Structure formats: C-alpha cells, structure tokens
A and B are shown apart, each in its own frame.
Chain A
Amino acid sequence: MLDYRLDDETETLRKVVREFALEVVAPQIGDFYERDEFPTDIVRQMGELGLFGLPFPEEYGGSGGDYFTLCVALEELARVDSSVAITLEAGVSLGAMPIYRFGTEEQKQQWLPRLCAGEALGAFGLTEPGGGSDAGATKTTAKLEDGHWVLNGSKAFITNSGTDLTELVIATAVTGTRPDGGKEISAILVPSGTPGLAVGKRYSKVGWNASDTRELSFTDVRVPEENLVGGRGRGYAQFLQILDEGRIAISALAVGLAQGCVDESVKYAAQREAFGRAIGKNQAVQFMIADMEVRASTARLAYYRAAEKMLRGEPFKREASIAKLYSSEMAMENARYATQVHGGYGFMNEFPVGRFYRDAKILEIGEGTSEVQRMLIARDLGVG
C-alpha cells in the first residue's frame, strides 16, 4: 500500500503555514534580509502557531505532531523564505531536540515548554573555527572542577546563538580521553548570560541573511555538573543521531525553496512581456519551468520516503542522505533557472528569486556537504 497524501490534519497545517508565510512573512522579510536583521516578531508569531513544538509531546508544551509535520511546515516556510525556515529548523532540531532526546527530566521540564512555545531559542555549538564535519578536531574543553564544568574554547557558525530570544547553547566539548586514546566528547548546556560566554557579531553571509549566525567563545565558563546533556562521552554519537533526521528537514527546506522558484517563475512568465507577448509563450521558458517543477516534485518524494521510513522506525540513513543530496543540488539548479527566467530582474534584490539564489548554496554545505552525502551513500552500498 502506497499513500503519499497528507492526512487531514497535516494538510490543514500545511495550508495554515502557507497562509502565514504569504500574509506575514512575504511582505516584510525582504527588508529584514537587506538589513541583515533577525525578524524577532515573525519568529514569535511562528511560536504562537506552535511550530517550534511540532514534533514534541504536549506534556512538555509541544504540539503533539511528529518530525514529518515539522518538515511540511519547513517546506511551506522555505517556499517563501529560507531564513525563517532555518531558524525554525535549527530551533527544533538543534536547540530543543537534544534536550528532549537525551536530557534529564529536570532539563526537559525546565527548558522545553519555553522552547516549544518559541518564547526561547536554543543553539547547538558543534562546529569550531578549525573544523566542521571532523569531530575529532574538537578543541573546546570542559573540565570538571568542584561540581562544575569549566568550558574553554570557541565555536563557529552557530545558528540562533545571539537573538533576543536565545536562552541557551548546548556545546560539545572534550571532557577527557577515551580508553582507546580518542577524545571523549560530551554535550553541555550553557544558559545565555553565563559569565565568560561571549557572543560574537553576526557573520556577514552570502545568504540566509535574516537568520542569526554567530561565533561563540568560552572563557572559564562555569556551569553546574548536572548541565551535562545525555551521557558523558556520548556528545558526538548523540549528535550523529539527530543529524540523520536533520537531513530530512534540510531536504524539506530545499524542496520549499525549489517550489518557491517555480511559483515565482510561473507568475513572472505570465506577466513579463518581450517582443509583444508574455515570455511564458516561449518554449525555452516553458521548458525551464517544467524542468524546475519536475525536480521539486521528485525531491519532495525523496524526503517523504525518508520521513516515512524514519516514522516507521526503520533504518533511514541512506534515504535521508539521498533526499538531502538530491534536493539541495536541485534547489541550487532551480534557483539558477528561476533567476534566468527573471532576466535582469533576477539579479535585483527586490525579487524573491534573487534571495532564493543566495539562499540555495548553503543547502549543499550544511548538515553534511554533498560530498559527505555521496560518501555515506556509497559506504552504505558497500562500495569502497
């Protein structure tokens, strides 16, 4: 039995998020983007919609949906704007999920209700200036002294780490040496405002300009021992676990961007005239748009498939990598085509496709580069 229709509730949510994206996000996001500003008020309203609590149970203030519901919401947001979509994705997958999955009951009670309501945002500090995908390169340390972790080091490219809503960062740090001589890496929760935690300036980025990305530095940051999230020495393994589902979310985001490219191109092709007729009358333009739709539709099936396996509790690593790889690369391609359909106006910031073009590139890099995905897929096939 194969059924990829959304159930009534998910379909209703999809429509609501679509409406919200068109009515609330679309009219103002361009200005935030140009000003490199985080749209605090829009994010709060996303919180009121319950989007940050989508995959969490109601006992922690969640909405009682699942990870796929979140993906559908991400797709509809990214169809209009990727900055708010990635803010949601990171807030849920990286900020709240580690606490929900690996945290103690006290940590869940303390943090999840505010994170689920979108009143607070959490950040996840993994990447360091010296290394991204290579966990062994972690240099940040946390030493246990008198019942406190003392953290030193720095983190790079940390989403949601310096907004008005940010209340915590979960940082991975070396907490010792494993029996095999490798680094023991653990995750430690550091509330915002803890002395010694310095939040850097916003990066000047190529895309995702209305999302918040910063460098963090830790200088003798002291937090209680119970701020350990999950098992000691489990920091990296835990991260790998949430990374797989994060790939499905990034895929949904890419599909949204790719569909947004179709939406904008269809609209533009009908209204823009050249040589006495709408440019959509030209087969060259028709074919570009048809190809864009083909890519967006097939990529959507790829992430639906990965999500379906995940929700059924089956292994989904390969499907997640396939979805992430294909959808991010086709999003880049759709952005390129959409810009082409728009001609000179595609190069102007006042048209959304310019923003889509700039936002697409990072999809091939974040949550595992295209090369990492290919490596994982090949490895899973037993090649090499």
Chain B
Amino acid sequence: MNIVVLVKQVPDSGSERKLDSSDNTVARASADNVINEMDEYAIEEALTVKESQGGEVTVLTVGPGSATDAIRKALSMGADKAVHVTDDAVHGSCAVQTSAVIAAALQQLEYDLVLCGAESTDGQVSVMPALLSERLGIPHLSGARKLTVEGTTVRVERQTDGGYWMLESSLPAIVSTWDTINEPRYPSFKGIMAAKKKPVETKSLADLGVDPASVGLATATSRVLDFAGRPPKGEGVKVADEGDGAEKLVGYLAAQKLV
C-alpha cells in the first residue's frame, strides 16, 4: 500500500497572521510557520493504515524552502520519505494552479491512497482534493471522520452537520480527513533523529514538466485585491435587568439577526 499525504506549511493560526502588502499574498517570512493542523490528522491516518496493512507513506508538499520544517515534522511522526516541490514561480498561485503542480508531482509517484486535511487554516478554500480528483481521474471521498482499507477498497464515514454518510470506493482514491478521525501522535526523539536520515527529494517545476508561466500570481484565477485589518472590538451593550432582561436580550439578538 503506497500512501501519499499532502501537507502544507501555514502561518500558525494561534499567532498573528499578515498579508504581504506588496502583492497581497500570505506573509510567510514574518510568520511562525507550522504544519497545517488538519494535515497532522491525515498523516496519523496514513501511519495507522500503514501499521495495519504495511506499505510506505510519502509526504508531498509544495512550498518555499522553509517548508522543510513541515516535512521534518511529518517524517518525525513516522512517514518514510518526502517530495518537496519548490520553485519561485509558484509564489502567489491560486488553488487551481497549485492543483496542477500537485497532480504532476503525484503522477511521478506510485500511490494507492492519497490523504490530505479537509482544509488549511490559511486560505480555507478547501477544494484541493476535488481539483486533484478531477485532474487525476480518481474518486474523491471528502471530510472523513473514519477510514478503513480492505484490499483495494476504501470505506469512509463522511462527516456532515447532521450525521454521516457511508462512502465506499475502489483504490486509488483521494480522501480528505477532519480532526475527528484520530488523535495525532507526538513525534518521539527517536523519530526526530530517524527523520534526519529519511530521503527528501526536491523537485522544480521543470522536473515535473510544468510550464512556469502557467502558475504564479500573474496568471492566477483568483487573487486578493485589497484587505483590511479586523475592526477593533466595539464597546458592547450592557443590559440592565429591570424585570425585562430576557426581553431586552432577545430584542438585541433579533436586531443583530442572530435569532
């Protein structure tokens, strides 16, 4: 079983995040960059499948040189090897362009199962698995809260607001996972040391046969035109209860269209 996990390095959602005012892209240099939280669940799931079925887990990321930190974390958790696509031309790419790069990288790998987090905490576009499914012509099972592999079949419970769907597909397939699916392990020091010796292959767009002019900010299908900081918190409204506190509260909520 060959499993490829897609990981993305993002600015830590717990610290202050900024856009770069020169081209309105994510300011990575000044941020505390971490592995996208949801991707850790995908890695954990891949390792769990590997532990029960055997096989190999490959981590695939597209990002600047500093994204090696995210790769190192995934390898420390137990992934076997990594492919790091890095090329200055990718800067500012939209989801559609990025999906072409990832698809090209996947086509150079052997995979039965592709796993990824259901969303990233930076862009939150959440379309990557669907785009890849289309480009690669493989089934896409989104938002899994449970996953089992049996032979060449994958079954997932797809989490929805009201419950879940049972989905089944043949392999190869791409599955995106929610944080309800497992509890990611912490890397052990042995794992951290072992990660040092694991192979990380760096690839450029030329290595993937992707035309640099087809990606990047200049030809992106979407871009940020303008942005502004969140307005400061207002004073708030104090409701004094003079026997009609509940009415006043409901009145306020209704005025804000919250009820």
Known interface pairs A63-B193, A64-B193, A65-B193; A12-B73 also in contact (CB < 8 Å): yes
Whether A12 lies near B76 (C-beta < 8 A) is yes
Cross-interface CB contact of B192 among A12, A19, A58, cutoff 8 Å = A12
Bitwise, A26-67 to B at CB < 8 A (1) or not (0) is 000000000000000000000011110110001000011100
Q: In whole angstroms, what is the CA distance A337 to B132 when docked?
A: 56
- Closest Cβ of chain A to B184, distance in Å, is 10
Interface size classification for chain B: 10 to 19
Cross-interface CB contact of B193 among A9, A20, A48, cutoff 8 Å = A9
Contact residues in B for A69 (Cβ distance below 8 Å): 189
Whether A50 lies near B188 (C-beta < 8 A) is yes
Q: In whole angstroms, what is the CA distance A67 to B192 when docked?
A: 16
- Cβ-closest chain A residue relative to B194: A64
Whether A9 lies near B188 (C-beta < 8 A) is no
Interface size classification for chain A: 10 to 19
A8 interface residue (CB < 8 Å to B) = yes
B64 interface residue (CB < 8 Å to A) = no
Bitwise, B3-38 to A at CB < 8 A (1) or not (0) is 000000000000000000000000000000000000
Contact residues in A for B76 (Cβ distance below 8 Å): 12, 16
Bitwise, B66-83 to A at CB < 8 A (1) or not (0) is 000000110010000000
Contact residues in B for A53 (Cβ distance below 8 Å): 189-190
Q: In whole angstroms, what is the CA distance A188 to B90 when docked?
A: 65
Whether A63 lies near B189 (C-beta < 8 A) is yes
Contact residues in B for A63 (Cβ distance below 8 Å): 188-190, 193
Cross-interface CB contact of A20 among B186, B192, B196, cutoff 8 Å = B186
Q: Which of A1-30 contact B (CB under 8 A)?
A: 8-9, 12-13, 16, 19-20
B139 interface residue (CB < 8 Å to A) = no
- Cβ-closest chain B residue relative to A23: B186
- Closest Cβ of chain B to A342, distance in Å, is 23
Cross-interface CB contact of A16 among B192, B193, B196, cutoff 8 Å = B192
Cross-interface CB contact of A65 among B73, B187, B189, cutoff 8 Å = B189
Known interface pairs A9-B193, A9-B196, A63-B193; A49-B73 also in contact (CB < 8 Å): no
Cross-interface CB contact of B190 among A12, A19, A64, cutoff 8 Å = A64
- Cβ-closest chain A residue relative to B188: A50
Whether B190 lies near A50 (C-beta < 8 A) is yes
Q: In whole angstroms, what is the CA distance A49 to B76 when docked?
A: 11
Contact residues in A for B196 (Cβ distance below 8 Å): 8-9
Contact residues in A for B73 (Cβ distance below 8 Å): 12
Whether A16 lies near B190 (C-beta < 8 A) is no
- Closest Cβ of chain B to A353, distance in Å, is 22
Whether A8 lies near B72 (C-beta < 8 A) is yes
Whether A19 lies near B193 (C-beta < 8 A) is no
Sampled A-B contacts (7; CB under 8 Å): A9-B192, A20-B186, A49-B186, A50-B188, A53-B190, A63-B193, A65-B189
Residues of A bordering B, CB below 8 Å: 8-9, 12-13, 16, 19-20, 48-51, 53-54, 58, 63-65, 69
Known: A8-B72, A53-B190, A64-B189. 9 other contacts (CB 8 A): A9-B192, A12-B76, A16-B186, A16-B192, A53-B189, A63-B188, A63-B190, A64-B190, A65-B193
The 5 nearest A-B residue pairs measured at CB:
A50-B188, A63-B189, A50-B189, A63-B190, A12-B192
